[in-house]
Structure 1
Amino acid sequence: MDNYPLPARRLVAEMTDAAAGAPDRAIAFQGAPGANSHIACVDYAPDGLPLPCFSFEDALDAVNEGRADRAMIPIENSLHGRVADMHFLLPESGLHIIDEYFLPIRYALMSVDDAPVVSALSHPQALGQCRKYLRAKGIRPIVYADTAGAAALVAEVRESGAAAIAPALAAQLYGLKIHDSHIEDSEDNMTRFVVLAREPRLPEPGSGPVMTTFLFEVKNVPAALYKAMGGFATNGVNMTKLESYQRGASFSATEFYADIEGMPGDPAVDRALDELAFHTKWVRLLGSYRQARPRSV
């Protein structure tokens, strides 16, 4: 808890105590109170108890240790791409994706007074999503661990001209003045979150379209990815996301993160995954869950 700026610690302590009293309702998130992940928890489960955690690893540990029933973790943003490290942390956590949630992202520039803003503190994702605004205003971006934590730090230090970029809720919680609202570079700024739990929770039959997320590593042979993907095309399984990343420093093996429509148990999906397994070193399923937003058009 001492990792948080002083103005956030009281709120963190109150929320942690509430979650400890009913861990079956607790939803862990990374960041200080007032962060986008906090807002996502409240919107997604109004009867839940958001549990603030300083790092993504802390949020995942809270679920594994039984201090929270679920975790709300951002995985990608429509403007700034994937959230760093999540492709490594998700499989290492041993948790399962049980749902997804999309949150429109709105940022405000906030500080302690009316002085002209010369610098803005925030998470790298937020700074990237407000890049054009900052450049146009001549404001120097400064990286911090999370958005609401940056707001709490600005409230603690009380340095004139120093601001934070965070959701408007953070200004309300920490007593800051909002200089500008809706400073994100695009009105359709959206973050996709995944909801994680210790055990898989398959969608109810008839609940709507389903997604399945998995990881795999291709064999180091010519046309390896082409061969691995062939089963999805021939079986008519729609792949909505395919993203590569490197693990380690050898650059000799490429791993992939993928989302498909459907789930194991569907004959077409089973055939496609069988063919994928034949052409790859390994495949790891992260979860099947209902689609929060339709992918097919």
Structure 2
Amino acid sequence: MSTVSSVRIAFQGALGAYSHEACLNARPNAVPVPCDTFEDVVRAMHDGAADLAMLPVENSTYGRVADIHSLLPRSGLHIIDEAFVRVRIHLMAPKGTPLEAIKHVRAHLVLLPQARSFLDQHGITSEAAADSAGAAAELAQTREPGVGALASAVAADLHGLDILARDIEDMQHNTTRFLVMAHAPDLTRRSDKMITSFVFEVRNIPAALYKAMGGFATNGVNMTKLESYMVGGSFTATQFYADIEGHPDDPAVKRALEELDYFTNMIQILGVYPADPGRD
């Protein structure tokens, strides 16, 4: 006999959004908690409305998700897992609608250019909506003739819509990486391949970043991501977000972090977690 999980996971967007799909993939038994903004996701955690949070951090087509790297360090949360979701775009409409009847579609502004070839080929015009899952939900209610929505398969299933064309995105590699956040860190070694994420601020000395990075090179630690962002509007207080392969207890990682500490004003470990198979 199956039991319903009491774990609640918050995400930004409406039910049926790609963030919702990430939740279903990573925690299939958790109760989804939709939120309007990323800040609302964090607030849901601190208000006790959610036990976990799902936040997108980067996309293979569009790069870093805006403002997310500055939100993570001040969220008070810890990364415990990562999840990769292929952005599969499906054309959907009320049940019984044939593809040739669709003349117009609605979806989030970011999604529309990704299906441009298909839409042009079929002479379908498009209109931006606040979000794709919301466009699917509205269409299910209005059943507007000749109109479709572009969204995830989760949205189609949730709102009882027929999928008229699957995987219509122009780029088949489009993938979003999400982070699963919790109140407490999980520093256990749960996989042979672990990822450590952290932020740091280099000291205001010549070649500080170059010297800080030297410890990772000399100790053979692979850094898979390094991005800078400004803090508080200052042109001098630049922080860096980094992902490395390995666990802080690994001798090579420990030595690299010790050397990094010498050249920085601040280091904050955001999380230690297993590498998702989607990385490969």
TM bucket by the smaller chain? 0.7 to 0.9
Residue of structure 2 equivalent to 1:121: 107
Moved more, 112-121 or 164-173: 112-121
TM-fit CA distance, 1:128: 5.4
TM-fit CA distance, 1:49: 1.7
Q: Residues 122 and 164 of structure 1 are in contact (CA less than 8 Å); yes or no, is this contact kept in structure 2?
A: no
* 2:76 corresponds to 1:94: yes
Residue of structure 1 equivalent to 2:273: 289
Corresponding residue to 1:234 among 199, 218, 225: 218
TM-fit CA distance, 1:84: 1.9
Residue of structure 2 equivalent to 1:218: 202
* 2:161 corresponds to 1:164: no
TM-fit CA distance, 1:212: 0.3
TM-fit CA distance, 1:285: 1.0
- Could you state the TM-score of these two structures normalised by the residue count of structure 2? 0.84
Residue of structure 2 equivalent to 1:198: 183
Once residues 81 and 247 of structure 1 are traced to their aligned partners in structure 2, the CA distance between those partners, rounded to angstroms, is 20
Determine helix, strand or coil for the equivalent of 1:253. Answer: strand
- Could you state the TM-score of these two structures normalised by the residue count of structure 1? 0.80
* 2:264 corresponds to 1:280: yes
Once residues 128 and 282 of structure 1 are traced to their aligned partners in structure 2, the CA distance between those partners, rounded to angstroms, is 40
Corresponding residue to 2:128 among 109, 132, 142: 142
TM-fit CA distance, 1:159: 5.0
Q: Residues 77 and 181 of structure 2 are in contact (CA less than 8 Å); yes or no, is this contact kept in structure 1?
A: yes
What 5-or-longer segments of structure 1 have no aligned partner?
1-17
Residue of structure 2 equivalent to 1:262: 246
* 2:71 corresponds to 1:85: no
The Cα RMSD (Å) is 2.7
Identity %: 53
TM-fit CA distance, 1:198: 0.2
Aligned in 2, Cα 1:110/1:263: closer, same or farther, shift over 3 Å?
A: same
TM-fit CA distance, 1:140: 4.0
Aligned in 2, Cα 1:222/1:176: closer, same or farther, shift over 3 Å?
A: same
Q: Residues 97 and 194 of structure 1 are in contact (CA less than 8 Å); yes or no, is this contact kept in structure 2?
A: yes
What 5-or-longer segments of structure 2 have no aligned partner?
none
Q: Residues 64 and 95 of structure 1 are in contact (CA less than 8 Å); yes or no, is this contact kept in structure 2?
A: no
Residue of structure 2 equivalent to 1:7: none
| Structure with more of its chain in strand, by fraction | 2
Mapping 1:1-150, distance limit 5 Å: 22=6, 25-111=7-93, 115-122=101-108, 124=110, 126-127=111-112, 129-130=114-115, 133=118, 139-142=125-128, 144=130, 146-150=131-135
Moved more, 60-69 or 169-178: 169-178
Determine helix, strand or coil for the equivalent of 1:252. Answer: strand
Q: Residues 121 and 143 of structure 1 are in contact (CA less than 8 Å); yes or no, is this contact kept in structure 2?
A: yes
| Structure with more of its chain in helix, by fraction | 1
Once residues 71 and 9 of structure 2 are traced to their aligned partners in structure 1, the CA distance between those partners, rounded to angstroms, is 18
